[in-house]
Amino acid sequence: MNNFMKFMEEKFVPVAAKIGANKYLKSLSMGSMSLMAIIMVGSIFSLLGSIAWGPYQGFIISTGLKQLFEFVPKITTDLMGVYMVIGVSYNAAKIFDHEDLAFNNTLLAIASFLILVPLKPIQEEGAFQPDVFINSTYLGPKGIFLALIVAILVTKIYCSIVERNWTIRMPEGVPEQVSYAFIALIPAFIILILFSAIKIGFSMTSFVTANDFIYKIIQIPLQSLASSLPTFIILIMLAQVLWFFGVHGSYATLPLFFPIWIGYIGENTAAIASGKEVPFMYNFGLYNLTTLGGCGTTIGLVIVMFFFAKSERYKAFSKVVMPCGLFNVNEPVVFGMPLMLNPVTFIPFLITPIIVLFIAYFAIKLNIMPAPMGLMIPSSTPPIFSGLMQGSWKLSIFEVFVIFLSGVIYYPFFKILDNQALKEEAEGQVVAEAEGTNN
């Protein structure tokens, strides 16, 4: 065990820490998370419009709410590619130490992204010239990976040009916004000409568009790879091992999956709206089921500690961590108890999320409960409520089961720590009494 921990601390943890601090991954992560409000609103409206209960459907149709519920997703989740390029390019400029360029960088990223989106001219009878329409299919989940690539490329090119002073600098005294507009002029020419050339280049290939190239060569294979049980097991185990060694496992692993999971949301909500099963079950919602109370599914641990602790140490500590655990915040437990580098709790900390995953997998496959929609709800959403927001009361019931299961798994390991604390407190009391007698 000591050799294993030494190897992990010297070889594995530094690599994971570098990955977590990588500016490109941080840009993708921050950009993805900044879209939470858009994703939540669109998905909730989609869910409200798809509740398969006759009287409810009759009510929302007769009142006109059905039209509203169907319209909102079209300008939120169905345009996810556009919002993604905005979120990533804006955050990337700040992460690459050019916050002053963030606004213009975002504008150029949007323009570059739209240049690559296919256009469809339609000539109406009697019209002087055809109307040109943007193919909105490429603005939604199908365009997410292109949006990520464009946002990062534009940011790097823009920042590099500015750092080399290939810009028009205005004299002092010119208003700041005017000065920034002229600074963006040369980068805008270079970037937009470059992406126009890319568009022309792809039009000469069998893919026809950059969107189709990225979608077929990168996005579909990555979605297939991520949508598997082995991949999910590796993700959870890797995150847990990193947490055990004091590295924020979520920050190190989830940025790789956020763009893929966001790509699932549109298709999952569309499937639910049409009364079908969720096509991508390995999503953010399923990951949340394995992290109730925080990493390691520690919600059961804090409840067990609160009700069954005998030592004064853990009685007092449970009053602090119990409220946090109910809202999925468990850094106080990981670093304060601690679970980090604690050999006693390593086994339940590692296996509890995996056990929950397997039970959830079989429950979904046996149609005991539906797969979660995969909404990227706030991580602080408490159990039961999070299940409802993921699309079903059955998921809420499952979360109650997970709380109970987590408590059962952690109980014997916690009692080891609690008994050790009781023994230490008893020994300390004996020493204090002896010192008092001597005095």
Which residue, 188, 203, 227, sits at the end of a domain? 227
- For the chain, 439 residues long, the average pLDDT of each consecutive 10-residue run is 60 64 83 83 80 81 86 87 93 91 93 90 71 82 89 94 85 73 88 94 89 86 84 89 78 78 82 82 92 91 93 90 88 84 88 95 94 84 88 92 95 92 83 63
Q: What is the structure's pLDDT at 188?
A: 92
Asked whether 319 and 302 are in contact (CB, 8 A), the reply is no
Q: What is the structure's pLDDT at 3?
A: 64
Dihedral over alpha carbons 217, 222, 224, 229 (to 10 degrees):
160
356 contacts: CB under 8 Å, gap ≥ 6: 289, 290, 292, 297, 402, 405, 406
Do 116 and 242 share a domain, yes or no? no
Do 131 and 190 share a domain, yes or no? yes
What share of residues in the chain are helix, strand, coil (percent, to 5)? 75, 0, 25
Phi, psi of 270, rounded to the nearest 5 degrees: -65, -40
Q: What is the structure's pLDDT at 12?
A: 58
Do 207 and 261 share a domain, yes or no? no
Which residue, 163, 197, 227, sits at the end of a domain? 227
**The model's pTM:** 0.75
Q: What is the structure's pLDDT at 274?
A: 75
Provide the residue range defining the domain that includes 75.
1-227
Question: Tokens 């398969």 correspond to what residue?
Answer: 52
Do 177 and 238 share a domain, yes or no? no
Q: What is the structure's pLDDT at 13?
A: 60
Q: What is the structure's pLDDT at 127?
A: 64
| Alpha-carbon span 219 to 208, nearest angstrom | 17
Closest by CA position to 282, among listed 268, 302, 294: 268
* 3-state SS class at 47: helix
Asked whether 232 and 286 are in contact (CB, 8 A), the reply is yes
Which residue, 172, 199, 227, sits at the end of a domain? 227
Distance from the Cα of residue 80 to its chain's centroid? 14
Q: How many domains does the chain have?
A: 2
Do 187 and 276 share a domain, yes or no? no
Please tell me the total number of residues recorded for the chain in this structure. 439
Do 220 and 292 share a domain, yes or no? no
